[in-house]
Amino acid sequence: MSSESEPLQNGSQGGASPNPFNFQTQVISTTPVKSNVGQRRGHRYKHSSVSAQHQIFQEPPPRPPPVLPASLPTPTIKEAWKSLQRDQRMRLYWGLCHVAIAIFIFYRSGGSLAAMALSHLVFFDAGSAAVCVVVDVLGNFEVWRRSSIRHPFGLERAEILAGFAMSIFLLFGGFDLLSHNLKHILESVGNHEAHHEHEHDRISTGSLDLVSAAAIASTLVSAYGLKNHARIAKVMRVSYLSTLPSILSNPFHFLTLFFSALISLLPLLSISLYDWLDRLICAVISLAMFSLGMRVAVAQGLMLLMSYGGNKGDVGVTAVLREIESESGIARVDGAQFWQVHYGLCMANLKVIITNGLDELALGKLRNRISALIQNRLGEGYGTGGNVRWEVTLETTVDATI
């Protein structure tokens, strides 16, 4: 036992065995702790050259500001009232007076079918005058004419919608007058006493003269001051009235002035002739309102549907396309779309196949010639009183067969 323990003691004393634990004295520093302990040292990998070459998701380039705003503020009634200028305020007051005159004529036309039919025409004139006033006031704001993503053509198409509503009023007014006229005719034929009672309720001479004078005066003031029905009449293009003076060439002004003058002559006639002519005037006015209302509804509906039915309609468009195909350097017209946005703007998109050999200068001149051709043929040209502006988009493709 003693002999075995002696080598172990001698070995431990002869050479020091390695210590598995390395204990060293640590000195605690008194400096403040840095805030970037958990951050990576060295340069950032994001800004290194390796990152620029191998980064999968690149940062998007900076976007330029949008050309069209998303939307524009719509004016409130208070803002519209504050924006009124002096002449616009006068037009607004006159529009209210025109509505009051229409109500006055309606209540004073109790004993005359013709006077009641005339009140429907004056109501339509007053509504058109009110639309003109609203359009004039909204023109003070940027949202009316400037394009935006919400309203690509501004708010000017709202005037088309208002005109379409006025055409519906004409249609229903024509039906209403026809029903009243037929009712009185059936009463006079079926019941002789009702016929005598209708004769007894004949409107007085002074009332008819006052009604006619009020209708004529209000129509002339609105025609000269507000120019109501001006844009609608241009869209309708009544050819048989084009040779008359400016006011009488408008079918709505012509109807109101003509029948107002005719109604003022009714008291000079005999009783039997008065009754017959009174019903005839009412029937003619109702048919005229129905006819004009149908034409206005079709014209406004085409604009609401983004179609074109303006100057000569499809015939004018076909003639323009033939002239474009006859231009030098054009092989054919592969596609064409024409439409009217509102009263003052039309658009044309053309896809033209051109011959090979046209340089940029010749192509630019060709675009100008086509734009001028469409403007002069369909937009009545510049300086001829036509306010319709055409925006032409031309897509050119070189003919591969040549």
pLDDT digits (tens, 9 = 90+) for 180-214: 888 878 877 765 544 444 444 566 767 888 999 99
Determine how many CB atoms are found less than 10 A away from the CB of residue 228. Answer: 26
Give first-to-last CA distance, the chain, whole Å. 118
Bridge partners of 398, per DSSP, are 354
| 327-366 per-position pLDDT tens digit | 888 888 888 899 888 888 899 999 988 887 778 888 888 8
CA 351 to chain centre: 26
How many angstroms separate the CA atoms of 236 and 229, rounded? 10
Phi, psi of 38 (to 5 degrees): -85, 5
Q: What is the pTM of this model?
A: 0.73
Among the ranges given (8-12, 119-123, 345-349), the one the predictor scored with the smallest mean pLDDT: 8-12
Question: What pLDDT sits at residue 197?
Answer: 46
- Provide the residue type at 380 as one letter: E
Query: Residues near 355 by Cβ (< 8 Å), separated by ≥ 6?
Result: 329, 330, 331, 398, 399, 402
Give the CATH fold of the 313-398 domain: Alpha-Beta Plaits (3.30.70)
Residue 84 has pLDDT above 80, yes or no: yes
> pLDDT per residue over 248-301, tens digit each?
778 888 899 999 999 988 888 887 888 888 889 999 999 999 999 998 898 889
Neighbours of 364 (CB within 10 A): 11
- The strand pairing partners of 354, in sequence order, are 330, 398
- Taking residues 116-143, what's their average pLDDT? 91
Q: State yes or no: pLDDT of 129 exceeds 80.
A: yes
Give the domain ranges of the chain. 77-304, 313-398
Cβ neighbours for 28, distance < 8 A, ≥ 6 positions apart: none
**Counting runs of H as helices and runs of E as strands, what totals does the chain give?**
14, 3
d(CA 333, CA 314): 16
| Residue 253 to residue 248: CA distance in whole angstroms | 6
pLDDT for 11? 46
Closest CA to 343 of 69, 132, 95, 74: 132
